[in-house]
Structure 1
C-alpha cells in the first residue's frame, strides 16, 4: 500500500476541486428550507417577477412606497443585479429549475466563483500552501458564507466576485516575468479595468472595488520603493490607469443599466455632489468623478514621487522607509480635507450613523468571532511576511486597510472584510508554520503540522458549518398563511401598513402595496407608538394594518426609529413554563403566576417586588377577553396572556396605550379598525374603516 503524501493535497489539481466542493456544500446548506432568508430578497424577487410579467424591466414599481410608488432607476440597484438570476433561470429551466430556485442558488454560484478566482490569484502571487489555506478559510468562513449562501440574495456578493476577477488579472500581470512577456503582460491590466467597470451594473454600492484596486496600485509602488524593485512602478501605474478605464466603463454602462448609489439621479449622489461642490458634464456619478478627478491624480503623483526619489535621491532602505512614512502622512493630510467632507456628507444624510437595523450597527468582538472564527487569531502572523517580504505583500495592504476602515462602521461589511481576513490568515498561517518548522524535527514537526495545518483549519470549518446550519428564515408559515389570505380577500390596489421589515414579504406573497419596506420608516414607528392619529393613515390611503408577535419583538427598534424617549416604556415577553395547578410564565428575573377562576389571581414577581397588574387580557382559541382580576397591591403593569401560543406579555401603562399593544393584545381598539384575520395571537390583520374614523 502506497503511503499517503499529505503534500499532495496542496497540488492545484487536488486543492481547487476540493475547495470548490467544500465551498459549494457549505453554501447549499440553507436549501433545506423552502423560504428565503431575511427581508430584502423578497423585494428583489417580487420586482423580477413583476418585470417578467410586464415583459420589460419596469421603472415605476407600484408596490413599494405606497401610495406613490417608486422609480427604480432613482432608488435601487442597476439592472444587472436583477437580470442575473433571470439569465441563470433561462439556462437552467431546461432541467426543470424554476425562477424561484434559480434565484435561490444564484448567490452560491457567484460565491463559489469568488473563491475559485481568489485561489488562482493567490497561487500566482504566492504558492500552493498560501493559496490553499487562504481560499479554504474563505470557503468555510461564515462571514463570507452568510451573504453568498443559498436563499440569501445580496449585491455585495457580486462586488467581491468582480474584485477576485480583477485580482486574478493583476496576478497574471505580475507572474509573467519572463523577457518574452516584458510588454505583453501589461495587457492583463485590462482585466481589472473590465472587472471594475462591469461590477457597476451588479450592485448599487460597487465603489469599494475601485478603492481596493487603487489602494493595491499605491501600495504596490510603496513595495517597489522600499525593495528597490523599480520595474513594479510600471505595474503600479498601469493598475492605476486601469481604474480610470474601469470608471469610464462604469459611467457608460450606467446610462444603459442604471447608475449606482452615487449616480447623478440618486438622492445620495445629488447631495454628495452639492456638498463637495464637484460636477461634470460627462461623468454622471459622484464617486466616479471624485475617483478620476482627485484620487487617480493623487495616486499617480505618489507613484511618480516614489520612483524619482528611489532612482535619484534615496539609496538607504531605512531612510527610504522613513521618507515613505513622511510622504504617506503628508498625502493623508492633503487627502483628508476631501475625505472629511465626504464623511461629513455621509453623516449629514444619515450614512455611517448607527441605526436600529442589525446590519448597520458597529461590529462587536462577538460579531467578529462569529464571522471569522479562529482565523482572527491568525491575522497577526501576516506580519511575519515582512521579515523577507515580496512586493505583493505591500500590494495587498491596499485591500486590507480600506476593509478595516469599512469594518469600523457597519456589520454588513463583515462580508467584504472576509477576503482580507482569509488572505491574512492563510498567508500568516503558512508564514508561522515555515518559521517554526525549521526549528523542530521528528515528532515535534509532525505535531506542529497536525496542529497548524489540520486542526486549526478543521476548527474553522466546524465553526463555520455550525453557524451556517443555525441560520433560519425569518418568515414562517404563520406569515405566509396570513399573506395568502390577504391576497385572496382584498383588492389589488389596497394599501397595507406594517412594520417596514415585513413590507417585502407582503409585496411578494400578497402582491399588495406597502407603506414601508426595506428601510426604517419613522412615521410608521410613530404610528405604532401612538404618536400619529388615524388622519395620517387616511392621508396615505391605508386600507389594512398588520400587527404581529415578531413586531412586538422589535419594540425597542420601534422606539428608536420613532425617536422617542424610552422613559416609561417597558415590555417583556415571557414563555409559559408550567401549567400544573397554575399558569407560570417566566423570563429572566420576571415571573407571572396566573390562577384561573371567576376572578383571576395574577401575581407578578420582578425579583425585587411582587404585585398585581392593573388590567389583564386573555386570548384563547378565537376570542380575546378582559379578565376580572383580584387587584391586590397593584402597580404600573398590564398583562396579556396567550394560551394559543403559550406566552405572556408584561408591559407598562405607557406601552399598553400604544397603538401596537391595543391592536394586538386587546379588543379595546377604535371602531375605525375591524379585525378581519387572526390566527389567535401571532398575526392580526385589521381593515381600516374610513367612515368610522371620520365619525
Structure 2
C-alpha cells in the first residue's frame, strides 16, 4: 500500500496548477511554441525565425532535442484519446515528476526498509522544491535529469543487493546508471550533475567500504565509477544527433570555459565530459584502487580515517591546481555576474523554507546513522547525492529542485532515526509516534500544498488578447520590442520575433529608460513596441539591468477609494485626486504633501492631461481608472521611453492597440520591409521606400551561411528575391540608406 499512496500524493500535488488555463512562468511558452512549429513543419528544424529577432534563433544551440521531442511523443500517444498538444505538454512534467518519486522509493526500499523509503519519498512527494519544477503547467529540463538519476539510483541499489555469484546480473544493473547518465544528455543542456552525483556515489561507497572494512563493496565502487565513463561516451555520441549541452564545443560557454581551463576538444566535444573522462574519473579510480590496496595493510580505523582526510585534501588541491578557473564555478564562469536573475542568486533562509519547510530542520538528523552501531555502506553511498546537493542549493536558488532529493532523503531517514532513538512505551510512545510520524509529515505536506496552491500564472487574458491581436494585425516578419520576461509569450501567442527573451537584455533596458532611442530600435528592425502595467512594477529591475546612473523614482499605488475623491495608497505613499474643472491632486510622501507638475488620467479609451495648476515639486502622476491604479514618478522616470509610450506617445510612435491600461502596443513608424510570398515568389515590399541598399543573407537550416549579396534598391518599392540562393531555407535582410540601417528582419523560405 505504501507505493500507491506515495504515487497518489505525488500526483495530486503536481496536478494542482492544472486548474489554471495558462502555464506558469515564461520558458514553457517558448518550448511549446517550438514543438508546435516543428510538428507543423513535420521535422525538428533548427532555425526558428519567430524568436531571437532580428537574427533568428538556432534551437540546437539551446537545449538538446529530447526536451521538445518528449512532450510531442506524449501528445501523439494521448491524442487518440482527444488530448490536445497544449494539455499533453502541460502534464508531461507531472509524469516524470511522479516517476522520480516512485523510483526513489524503490531504490530506498532496496537499500533500507519500507519505513525509511516511505517517509523519504513522502517528503520528496510533497516538497515544493521538487513539486515546483515537476508540476503541471511548468516545463523544465532538470526534471528529466533528476528522474534519470532516480532510475540510476535504483539500478545501483539493485546491483549492490545482488550477490557476487550472479555477476552478470550485477553488471547488467550497473548498466542502468550508465544508460541513465548517457540519456540525460538529450533532455537538458545542463545535465552534468547526474555525472557528479554518480561519481560521488562511487567514491563515497569506497570510503564507506574502507572505513567499515567491507572490502567486497570496492568492486561495486569501481563498477559504478566506470559506468559513468560509458555514460559520458554515450552522451558525447548522442550529442551529434540531439545537440550538445551548454558546455559543448559549438556553444559560446563551452568555448569560453575550455579556454579558461586550457582544454582542447578532440573526440570528446564537451568540456565537462572531457574533464570527467580525462581527470575526474581517473583520479576517482586511482582513489578507489588506492583504498583497496591500503585496506589490505591498514587495519586501524583511526589510521584509515586519517589517510582518507589526507587523500581528500590532496584530491581537492590537485583539481583546483589544474583548473584554477573552477573558482568561478558558482557564477557559471562569470555569465551571471553582469545580469543576475532570480534563479542565479544564493539561496536564503526564506528560499530554503519555501522549498523544504519542516524537512529542512529534519535533514541533519540523517547523520544520527553515523554511529559505529548503525552506519552502513549505503549511508556513505548516499553522501554522494547529499554533499553535492547541499553545495548546489547554497550556490543558486535554481538548484533547490535538484537538491530536493537529497534533502528529502535526509529528512525521511533522519525522522526515523529520531523516532527509534528513545525507548518509550505506553502513552509516551504513542505521543511520540503521533508527533513524529503523523503530525510532522502532515504539517510538512500542508505547507508544501499551500505553496503549490499559491502559485499563479503570470500570463493572463489581457496579455493573450494583446498578443493574439498582434499576430492578426502585423506582418509575419515584423520584429517586436518587449521586456525580456515577455519575449517567449510574443513567440508563442503572436508568432513574431522579439528582440529580447529568456535572459536580461541591457540594450532593451536602456531603450525603455530612454538611453537608446528609436533609431537604435529601428536599426534592429523593430516594428512594434509593447509597454505594460507590469513594466511599471518591474521598473526597478529595468533600471538595474540598464546599469546607468540616474535618479529614477517610480511607485505603483492601488486604488483604495473612489467615493468623492480617488484615493491611491501604498506603504508611505498616497495620491488623492478630487475631480473638478481644475483637478486637485495631492501627493503625500511619508507625511510630506506635494503637488504634481503634471497629472494624467486614463478612463475608457482616452488619456487626458489634467489641469492641476503650477507646482515646484519634481512629481508626476498617471492615474488609471479602468483598472484602479496610479503611478507616481519623478521627472527622470516620467521622461523615460517606457512612461512616455504608455501615457503620451508621440511621433514616430503610433498607438496600435490598447486595452485601457494593462497592455499597449505601439507601432514604430520607419522605412519598413514587408515580406510577401505569392505564386512561388518572395517579394520584399518597401513601406516608405527611402532606402538605397538591400543586403540579403541566406542560410541552411543548420545555420551555415550559403548566400550573401547587396542590391541597389534606390527608388524601388519592391524587390523580388532571387530564385537561386544556393539552397537557402532562412533569409536575413537589412534595408539601408547609405550606411544607416533602416530595417532588419528574418523569414523562412516557402
Q: TM-score, normalised by structure 2?
A: 0.88
Match for residue 592 of structure 1? 575
- Cα deviation digits, residues 183-223 of structure 1 (max 9, x gap): 64132111000000011001111000000000001111110
Within 1, Cα distance between the matches of 2:85 and 2:152? Answer: 30
Q: Which one of 306, 309, 312 corresponds to residue 325 of structure 1?
A: 309
Q: Matched residue of 1:690: which SS? A: coil
Is the Cα contact below 8 Å between 2:575 and 2:588 reproduced in 1? yes
Q: Which one of 648, 655, 671 corresponds to residue 637 of structure 2?
A: 655
Match for residue 222 of structure 1? 207
Within 1, Cα distance between the matches of 2:661 and 2:433? Answer: 57
Within 2, Cα distance between the matches of 1:640 and 1:364? Answer: 36
Say if 2:535 is the partner of 1:551. Answer: yes
Q: Matched residue of 1:161: which SS? A: helix
Match for residue 604 of structure 1? 587
Say if 2:565 is the partner of 1:582. Answer: yes
Matches within 5 A, 1:109-120: 109-120=95-106
CA distance 1:551–1:289, change in 2 (3 Å): same
Is the Cα contact below 8 Å between 2:181 and 2:194 reproduced in 1? yes
Within 2, Cα distance between the matches of 1:469 and 1:345? Answer: 34
Q: Which one of 290, 295, 308 corresponds to residue 275 of structure 2?
A: 290
Q: Matched residue of 1:408: which SS? A: helix
Within 1, Cα distance between the matches of 2:652 and 2:329? Answer: 43
Match for residue 521 of structure 1? 505
| Structure that is richer in strand per residue | 2
Q: Matched residue of 1:684: which SS? A: strand
CA distance 1:53–1:459, change in 2 (3 Å): same
Within 1, Cα distance between the matches of 2:52 and 2:321? Answer: 37
Match for residue 344 of structure 2? 360
Within 1, Cα distance between the matches of 2:603 and 2:312? Answer: 69
- Cα deviation digits, residues 565-611 of structure 1 (max 9, x gap): 3x411111110111122111100111111111111111111124111
Q: Which one of 83, 87, 99 corresponds to residue 101 of structure 1?
A: 87
Match for residue 7 of structure 2? 20
Within 1, Cα distance between the matches of 2:507 and 2:241? Answer: 35
Match for residue 9 of structure 1? none
Say if 2:132 is the partner of 1:146. Answer: yes
> Shift in Å at residue 354 of structure 1?
7.5
Is the Cα contact below 8 Å between 1:602 and 1:630 reproduced in 2? no
> Shift in Å at residue 137 of structure 1?
0.6
CA distance 1:382–1:345, change in 2 (3 Å): closer
Say if 2:632 is the partner of 1:671. Answer: no
> Shift in Å at residue 66 of structure 1?
0.8
Match for residue 62 of structure 1? 49
Q: Which one of 421, 441, 457 corresponds to residue 407 of structure 2?
A: 421
Match for residue 173 of structure 1? 159
Match for residue 471 of structure 1? 455
> Shift in Å at residue 338 of structure 1?
4.0
Match for residue 663 of structure 2? 683
CA distance 1:346–1:367, change in 2 (3 Å): closer
Say if 2:443 is the partner of 1:459. Answer: yes
Within 1, Cα distance between the matches of 2:622 and 2:416? Answer: 59
Within 2, Cα distance between the matches of 1:361 and 1:345? Answer: 13
Is the Cα contact below 8 Å between 2:261 and 2:324 reproduced in 1? no
Q: Matched residue of 2:94: which SS? A: helix
Within 2, Cα distance between the matches of 1:356 and 1:35? Answer: 27
Is the Cα contact below 8 Å between 1:346 and 1:352 reproduced in 2? no
Match for residue 714 of structure 2? none
Match for residue 5 of structure 1? none
Is the Cα contact below 8 Å between 2:249 and 2:265 reproduced in 1? no
Runs of at least 4 residues off by over 4 Å: 345-349, 691-695
Q: Matched residue of 2:67: which SS? A: helix
Within 2, Cα distance between the matches of 1:413 and 1:469? Answer: 21
> Shift in Å at residue 350 of structure 1?
3.2
Match for residue 8 of structure 1? none
Match for residue 535 of structure 1? 519
Unaligned segments of structure 1, at least 5 residues: 1-13
Within 2, Cα distance between the matches of 1:106 and 1:348? Answer: 28
Match for residue 39 of structure 1? 26
CA distance 1:349–1:378, change in 2 (3 Å): closer
Within 2, Cα distance between the matches of 1:159 and 1:339? Answer: 26
Within 2, Cα distance between the matches of 1:293 and 1:578? Answer: 68
The count of aligned residue pairs is 673
> Shift in Å at residue 630 of structure 1?
3.4
Q: Matched residue of 1:201: which SS? A: coil
Match for residue 571 of structure 1? 554
Within 2, Cα distance between the matches of 1:232 and 1:354? Answer: 47
Within 2, Cα distance between the matches of 1:287 and 1:522? Answer: 30
Match for residue 58 of structure 2? 71
Is the Cα contact below 8 Å between 1:382 and 1:424 reproduced in 2? yes
> Shift in Å at residue 286 of structure 1?
0.9
Is the Cα contact below 8 Å between 1:354 and 1:360 reproduced in 2? no
Q: Matched residue of 1:288: which SS? A: helix
Match for residue 29 of structure 1? 16
Quote the RMSD (CA, aligned, Å).
1.6
Q: Which one of 359, 363, 370 corresponds to residue 386 of structure 1?
A: 370
Q: Matched residue of 1:259: which SS? A: coil
- Cα deviation digits, residues 618-641 of structure 1 (max 9, x gap): 111110011110345x32111111
CA distance 1:48–1:469, change in 2 (3 Å): same
Unaligned segments of structure 2, at least 5 residues: 672-687, 691-739, 743-750
126-135 or 404-413, larger mean C-alpha shift? 404-413
